[in-house]
Each structure stands twice: as C-alpha cells, then as structure tokens.
Structure 1
Amino acid sequence: MGEYKRFVMEFGFGVDSHGQDPTNACIKAVKDAISRVYIIGLLEINIKDFKIDALLGVPYPESVDINRLTEAFPIKKNLSIKVVKGGLIDYGAIMEEFNDKNTEIIMAVASITVSVEV
C-alpha cells in the first residue's frame, strides 16, 4: 500500500433556518463544499486509490445522523466523517408552518479533504 497525499481541500457552509436540524445544516455544508470542486484528475492520471476525509463543526454534533450525512457525498468509497462541536447558533423567529421547535438557526461548516495514494 502506498502513501496518501492530500490532493484537494474545500470548505463549505450550511444553514438550517427552520426546524433546528443539525444534520440538514451539515448536508448543506457538504454540498456547498463539493459544489466548487470537479476532480477530473482522479480519473485521468495514474492514481492508485483515494480517500475522502470530512470534518464538520456544528452545534449539537451528537444529534447528526451520519447515515443521512453520508448520502450527501456522491462518492462513498473510503469516506471518513467526523462531526465535532462547532458552527454557530443565531436566533430568528418561530414559524410553526416550518416545524420550528424554537428560534435557533443552526449553522455548520465543513472541511473536505481528498487524498490520493501515490
């Protein structure tokens, strides 16, 4: 097995404005990060293997549904996800029609690293 070297890093931001769901905020942060990266090199150059490491910071990390979060990644091969306490909470208004439980607005940040085996 060869050595892995970082190939690309990208960062994203996600907000769950209503519903107070940290998983939704994380999914949006992941999609924001990966929407700016097109890694054609994984197919066009001689790379043996690759891995993806995702680090997310969000309020209430223990409430994040890792299975739902995994579905946000188009490639799940060698995927490692770590969710830690971070992100931000701000306060808006309760809108019952959006299933708000309180006035919290949940914000998450994501750091996605793709490493290649050389």
Structure 2
Amino acid sequence: MWKRYIIELGFGADLHGQDMTKAAKRAVEDAIRRSCLCGLEEVLGIQDFDEIRVHVTIACPNPESIQESEVLSVLPVGQKSIKVTKGGMAVPGLYVQGFGDIDDSVVVANACVEVSVAVD
C-alpha cells in the first residue's frame, strides 16, 4: 500500500513569452527546494530513492500547452507522474516583442508535489 509522505506546494511564473512549461517547471522547482527528504532514509530505511513515487499536479491557464516530460525532468528521483489541470493565473504585464512575447500577459503556474512511500 502506498501512503503520502510529504506534500509541497510551489508557484512559478513566466514574465515574458507566455511559456506554460517554463512556469510549471519553476513551480515544481519552487516546491522541491523547500523540503529535505531525510526521513526516507533515517526513519523509513529507504536506500534507493527510485523506490518512491513522486506525483505532480500542475494548474495553469493553458494546460494543453504543457510539455509533461519537461516538467517531470526537474524531479531528481522517484517514479514520476503528472496531472495537468486548468488554473493558475494570467495577468496583464508588458509586451516586449524582443523577449518573445505573443501578448502582454504574465503566466503563473501552481504545483503540488506529493511523495509517496510503500508501507506494509
């Protein structure tokens, strides 16, 4: 049976370019930078961190544009999975053609990263 060990939340933005994948990757990085999984080894005795499951949920304005494999590539360990849903935020920013903007919006993605472990 799998049980959740930790849940971390993060957010990421792309100020220019409206790149949902970039915002999502930043959101996952934000979440995982705030946790140390020392209890996996010290409490649970897990030696191989590829034995854990890491599930990511992303909420962003245009979920269909997310490159899921790119988002999962920022996770250093674990059996990885992802779910992408509509959410996040798009707010007016500044249009600068030279920055690759397609419009003036700033896009924000939210991430929930869940680490699960097998328990008897």
Question: Under a length normalisation based on structure 2, what TM-score does the superposition of the two structures give?
Answer: 0.90
Secondary structure of the corresponding residue to residue 70 of structure 2: helix
1:72 counterpart letter in structure 2:
V
1:47, 1:117 within 8 Å by CA — same for their partners in 2?
Answer: no
Output the CA distance in 2 between the equivalents of 1:19 and 1:117.
40
- The runs of at least 4 aligned residues of structure 1 exceeding 4 Å deviation read none
Correspondence 1:1-118 to 2 at 5 A: 3-44=1-42, 45-47=44-46, 49-75=51-77, 77-118=78-119
Contact map agreement 1:47 1:116 (CA 8 A) in 2 = no
Partner SS for 1:18: coil
RMSD: 1.3
In 1, distance between residues paired with 2:67 and 2:3? 29
Sequence identity (%): 38
**Structure 1: tracts of 5 or more residues without a match:** none
Q: Which amino acid aligns with 1:107?
A: V
How many residue pairs align between the two structures?
115
1:47 offset after TM fit, Å? 4.1
Once residues 16 and 106 of structure 2 are traced to their aligned partners in structure 1, the CA distance between those partners, rounded to angstroms, is 7
CA contact (8 A) 1:4 1:50 kept: no
